[in-house]
A and B are shown apart, each in its own frame.
Chain A
């Protein structure tokens, strides 16, 4: 007889008779919902991989679009997405980690920290197109950046801020209290404790948050519609005030706005595959990294 230890700390005898009659039906009904989730993801991934894989070759990844975007590759869109996510991270990570350090290391827990945390959660729920409107009004117009890499990067940075704050806070919380108390007892100041004891141990967790934020920013389209993404550009962006092509926006126009939609369908599939692969790899990396450091924390190292 096999025994199974549940995470609630009870030891159940696992018997065949545990699920019977309508309960067995219910058991399978619940289980089938997860199979459905797997099926949905499988169908989407299969469709895009099977129809997109044939398009992808070295030329597709390294050449700009040609002949009215009906031939050639998606190189400028890959470069644009890379540039804009770098700006996003440069904006969101210092601010997000800073806010997390404030919440977890400096602040006295009370009304104000509750308000900050509530703002983080509500910021996470703001629709992406509203960020687009905000970015257009503030970064493009008021700050006068015009439609540009920097305007789009800042807009996406705001959007990913809740991800980085939440992940960084979780990472800081995994550092045992005793470490801090030990350092304080030796006469270290708060900043010394944060810099030399807390932050080094929280780095893997912060990295996870950064990668998740990157994945989020790389796939977003709505916030960059009016803040800098361009239909087609003959040159790569040469400064932060240039407009840029981006993978998600490229997929959007190739599937809905192009003058010869059915002709460019393979290119759209190829773009979708590259974008999906990029986002999935980033997400998977974050999941693995998180698992690794959670295991380490669980072992008390």
Chain B
């Protein structure tokens, strides 16, 4: 006999599971429904036109996201250039070489770094890193893409380290045994056997780090200077998509074209990170193949 409580509890738990999917779909729906009026009014062109984001202009406001897309790309790529090699090397060390006490010591440190709020990291970039960069490159201000890239790289590091370590640890131990039994050194085993076998997982780790970097908001908002001009170099001030939304979100007029344009930026950000995360997800599910 199945009691009412049993049925009710089951229904509640099924609903909770369903709710997760609904939230993700709901986010996409809200982004679409709020950006549609803007897309219908302006079309897709103005959002990718060569002019600037200037929704407050009298006469002819412009809504180009192009410079912000460049800004996001620069900060993200700059961050990954340093975070991926460092992160993968740290993961390889933790998974393959570190003694138990080293793992016990370093893993919490990686976790604490992951826990540092982005606004604190941004504050650090603003008051410590910016003056250093300004002096090093003889600039008026150290608030630029370079500063943002360093800090966003630091933000992405823990994600990359943790996931790459999981991927390397998941490589079947037979691979290592075989390599070592054939007389390979541990160094050769790491670089010729385990890391290549974990390649898809390591790529996924880098991609999830990239997802973090693309969506990072507060840190870049505080350290990149937020100019909407086309950036020429890493020492120029840039505004990223996420920071662009954060700057305007506070005082945008509800249901104005400006409001809908912000949701277009949000939709773009969502779609990019969704694609990156989905790809990483597919790569993670791919287990290293054991040849029989």
Contacts and interface: CB of A to CB of B under 8 A. Distances in A.
Interface of A: 4, 7-10, 18-19, 23, 26-27, 29-31, 33-34, 36-38, 40-41, 43-44, 47-48, 94-99, 101-103, 105-107, 112-113, 115-116, 118-123, 125-134, 136-138, 141, 158, 161, 165, 189-191, 194, 215-216, 218-222, 225-226, 248-249, 251-252, 255-256, 265, 268, 272, 275-276, 279-280, 282-284, 287
Q: Which 4 A-B pairs have the closest CB atoms?
A: A127-B215, A219-B117, A98-B16, A125-B277
Given A10-B177, A251-B123, A37 B106 contact: yes
Contact of B16 (A95, A132, A249, A251): A95
B30 interface: yes
B202 interface: no
Interface residues of B, number: 91
A165 B106 contact: no
A283 B117 CA distance: 11
Interface of B: 2-3, 5-6, 9-10, 12-21, 23-24, 26-27, 30-31, 34, 86-87, 89-90, 92-94, 97-100, 102, 106, 108-113, 115-124, 126-128, 154, 157, 161, 173, 176-177, 180, 185-187, 208, 211-212, 214-218, 222, 242, 245-246, 249-250, 254, 262-263, 266, 269-270, 273-274, 276-278, 281
A134 B32 CA distance: 11
Q: Which of B21, B269, B274 counts the most A-chain CB atoms under 10 A from its CB? A: B21
B215 A255 contact: no
B274 A122 contact: yes
Contacts of B92: 30
A158 B19 CA distance: 11
B164 to A, nearest CB: 11
Contact of A127 (B99, B109, B273, B278): B273
Given A33-B87, A36-B86, 5 more contacts: A23-B187, A44-B124, A95-B19, A125-B215, A129-B266
B27 A283 contact: no
Contacts of A249: 119
Given A126-B273, A219-B119, A102 B128 contact: no
Contacts of B97: 27, 30-31
Contact of A251 (B14, B119, B254, B269): B119
Nearest to B154: A40
Contact of A125 (B9, B12, B208): B208
A129 B245 contact: yes
B16 A101 contact: yes
B17 A107 contact: yes
Contacts of A130: 27, 31, 215, 266, 269-270, 273
Contacts of B126: 255-256
B199 to A, nearest CB: 17
